[in-house]
Structure 1
Amino acid sequence: MRVVIGEDSVLLRDGLVRLLTAHDLDVVATAGDAESFLRLVSEHRPDVVVLDVRMPPSFTDEGLRAALVLRRQYPEIAVLLLSQYVEERYATELLSGPPSRVGYLLKDRVADVGDFVEALRRVASGGTALDPEVVSQLLLRRRRDPLERLTPREREVLGLMAEGRSNSAIAVALCVTDSAVGKHVNNIFAKLDLPPADNDHRRVLAVLRFLGVGKA
């Protein structure tokens, strides 16, 4: 079984290579960023990939977005995500596709090397391997109002945004720094699933969600 690994941590990447090689798996290439990973997958066409969710340059969701590209372009290649986080927005899209050749495990919850290798083989053979915590968080996301993800302070900031106040004015009203307000605003955008877009003003969309007239 041929494997390509996408992992930015040099130590973990080397550890995965040694682990898989010791279990008679052929690691044909490794990459430390999503762009290189996709190029290597195209070149080697492995049976399965092991991929981290958060990779350079922003360390947010590059790996997961690369997995979506891979699933569209090479559906025959199995994908096992191995991460410290459940990235809900794109994970939902990934797992809503064909229910085969896909896995999502949390690094801190992999307690047995044998179980991990068995999960990788199962995904490569057309099965699935999902951490129960991943399933739980994604099901919860489907049930809850996106506004419920906001902290009390983030709700307060969003309320002041709805009044038309700038970040500087919000900072004065809350007796905090402009930088702190900026962080709250970015958190609001992320929790309301408002990624950067050329033709959508995220501030306006966030306020519409707050007022109950934006799409869920």
Structure 2
Amino acid sequence: MMTNLFSTFDPSTNFGSLNWMSTLIMFLLIPPFFWLIPSRFNMLWNKIIFTLHYEFKTLIGKSSGSTMIFISLFSIILFNNFMGLFPYIFTSTSHLTMTLTLALPLWLSFMLFGWINNTIHMFAHLVPQGTPPILMPFMVCIETISNVIRPGTLAVRLSANMIAGHLLLTLLGNTGSMLSMIMINILIITQILLLTLESAVAIIQSYVFAVLSTLYSSEVN
């Protein structure tokens, strides 16, 4: 039972290597951006991009174009999260292969930049202001560990949230053949509500990933 349940998250099942093609489906939605007359979708997406740009610029504290890195990160995760909600489409963001690929290079680049260019500033971050001298060695250890596990927490948070919702939908859907007509109607309503919740989770998790990456970036400046 467990093998069948988790087989939806196995990239080697069903369509084999084509499963990872779901990551590239987002590129099919890009051509409308080149139309001469902007569509409603285009205007909505531009509104989202500008809103994120101003918010990330406030977090970073500089009016540089580096916000576009985090907006692109948000877009990639958002599209992949939504693609996973469609039937028979592989959810690439439910795998640590995908999420660690996004989180680890970002965190590593922040650390290299910070320790090379702002070494004293990075050392100062290891001891929070107002820490008693006797606790300083422990605080350095705690802050170092919390800094090292950041890419892991980013990746696991996104993967776990994607897996949890999909598993709940699958578990409830598998009980449909054993229910009466009244219970099936209740199940359908429940599934629709869960799907709405998953849509919200897809947006929230991509936003959380991008915001936390922005905050990590602002700490090394």
What TM-score, normalized by structure 1, do the two folds share?
0.27
| Larger-Rg structure | 2
What TM-score, normalized by structure 2, do the two folds share?
0.26
Using CA pairs under 8 Å that are at least 6 residues apart, name the structure with larger relative contact order, 1 or 2. 2
